[in-house]
A and B are shown apart, each in its own frame.
Chain A
């Protein structure tokens, strides 16, 4: 029983770490720019396809391919911000909302055109399975946990310990005051989109390695990402981290102790529960703005 409990905890943490990466990308955009970037899942799938392409075409390993794909993803994020969102920055929020939906369709269809309809599984070569006291730890899943943890720590340092991170936090806290202090909001917007898309690409690569990159996968990712956002608190980085892990573990435990038929319902029950008890989310203080 204890072995199964630990196994389910491990299963949940692995999936939760992917949810966290997706949610982090969504939360920094929402927290700083107030945009619900629905195309994030499609950008993640694009990154997964791109990594697969690099590995197949150039014979490079997973990590270098992933790093290049993240760089390309960051660039794509900047382009999306400039071309799609920047022109409507002063328009009513519904404009950005519609653009987000349009971008989702465009990137999804572009993925189909460029990479085809077949599902793609990113080859990793991480096939070993470790067994510790009856708990099985597949090598790939251990790496996924490690990569997700590394990216979360790196992002936290970037946001908390760098000048650009300070600028991002300043814009998030009080945009007019940040402008008055001489912060270039345009640069911050581009940086945020670049960072978010790079994280999205990382999530897409991990999904592609563990499961598959395929048409239709992005929708589910974004839904889970937004569920985590509401769970952890809109715009809260610690909320995205905790929320993702809570959601992943809850799903695994729901399968084990309730019913696998209700696994996906759990995400939404949790969301409703948190909205009722703590509407601002698990990790967000009540706003007094």
Chain B
């Protein structure tokens, strides 16, 4: 009997560490995003959305990978939307922290810099809001992005502006962010293909907040519509200054900022009637119940309403969870394979348009619908979806590398 007891105790003691190990397995995710500076309006909401999704997944029992269950945790760094800083952060996460999964990445220039070196690294990079085409067009097999490239939305926007009866368009756009220049070029091409004329293309730089001179010049050319694109803070200043200059023609834009972000710069009167033509990022009216539940959870957790771009990052976490569970291992090659064959996870907020039934196309690019939103009574109203053909764009996307 004593020997039996001893055997039972010994067996129990031998099993304990294994049980403890299984219960305590943690998978660390590296988050690199703009948490200060101009890009923070996109980066900080992404960081919050990632943490929200992780808390939800952990509260729901974690990620079931084969026999193991993992709890997720993050290591977070501020890349300031700066290419050098973002590259340093990536090196720190990979070399010092030993992280295998990177996510966040709101801004094109910084993300592009990391994407250019990441193909040589044993990691998987999940990109959020950064929309420069080359990030996924380069074809690294370890880069996956939830946001579609800028030109995918730009062409749809150009056709939409022409369909509203605009014949002469004045364009004011940021000149040094690939997402916006690619969107702008695709918009101009589509608009001109519909018979429209661009009266002038004016630009502004990354730190500019005074576009009065450019708007005055455009006003003098008397266009019957304006297109303004760039980061939300700059675009909001442009709308404010357009209002001060007495510009009343329809104003179309591409920035993806929340109503609160716009109103912190420009008055209701200056923004009334402005259009935002974007891939349908988070919008509770346009996306329905899942989006409403996300907004509620985000608001409860962070005491702030989610910004439109934040859902790109929220969805990244569920993408990673499903890929890990489908792979049944945390080995990178298996997870990459699982990502390539992944169906759209149930919990994702955005409305993805799968290509051949898969969330990501062969270059790791996902697509969502495009939509037209109009500012009315201090909020963005969803007006209509813009015709978007993800399969056709993806076929074209496979032929380019930048």
**Residues of A bordering B, CB below 8 Å:** 1, 3-4, 7-8, 11-12, 15, 112, 117-119, 121, 127, 129, 131, 136, 138, 141, 210-212, 214-217, 220, 251-252, 255-256, 260-261, 263-264
Contacts and interface: CB of A to CB of B under 8 A. Distances in A.
Return the 4 tightest CB-CB contacts between A and B, nearest first. Answer: A255-B213, A117-B36, A211-B209, A138-B244
B265 A121 contact: yes
A286 to B, nearest CB: 34
B220 A15 contact: no
Contacts of A264: 205
Interface of B: 35-38, 40, 44, 175, 202-205, 207, 209-210, 212-214, 216-217, 219-220, 233, 237, 243-246, 264-265, 267
Dominant secondary structure of chain A at its interface with chain B: helix
Given A112-B36, A117-B37, A118-B40, A4 B246 contact: no
Given A119-B38, A263-B213, 10 more contacts: A4-B216, A7-B245, A117-B36, A118-B40, A127-B267, A129-B246, A141-B244, A255-B214, A256-B213, A260-B204
Given A129-B246, A136-B244, A261-B175, A11 B212 contact: yes
B246 A131 contact: yes
A4 B209 contact: no
A10 to B, nearest CB: 9
Given A4-B220, A7-B216, A217 B203 contact: no
Given A121-B264, A129-B244, A264-B205, A251 B213 contact: yes
Contact of A8 (B35, B216, B233): B216
For A3, A211, A256, the residue with the greatest tally of chain B CB atoms inside 10 Å of its CB is A211
A136 B38 contact: no
Contacts of A4: 216-217, 219-220
Given A7-B245, A136-B244, A255-B214, A214 B205 contact: no
A3 B219 CA distance: 11
B210 A211 contact: yes
Contacts of A251: 213
28 contacts: A1-B220, A3-B220, A7-B245, A8-B216, A8-B217, A11-B210, A11-B213, A12-B213, A15-B210, A112-B36, A117-B35, A118-B40, A129-B246, A136-B244, A138-B244, A211-B209, A211-B210, A214-B37, A215-B37, A216-B37, A216-B207, A252-B216, A256-B213, A260-B202, A260-B203, A260-B204, A261-B175, A263-B213
A208 B217 CA distance: 25
Contact of A252 (B44, B205, B213): B213
A7 B219 CA distance: 11
A264 B206 CA distance: 12
Nearest to B82: A216
A138 B240 CA distance: 11
Contacts of A121: 264-265
Contacts of A255: 202, 213-214, 217
Nearest to B245: A136
Contacts of A129: 243-244, 246
Nearest to A254: B213
Nearest to A112: B36
Indicate the member of A15, A112, A260 with the most B CB atoms within 10 Å. A260
Given A216-B37, A220-B207, A260 B244 contact: no
Contacts of B40: 117-118
Contact of A256 (B203, B217, B265): B217
Nearest to B204: A260
Contact of B36 (A7, A11, A141, A215): A215
B216 A256 contact: yes
Contacts of A210: 210
B268 to A, nearest CB: 11
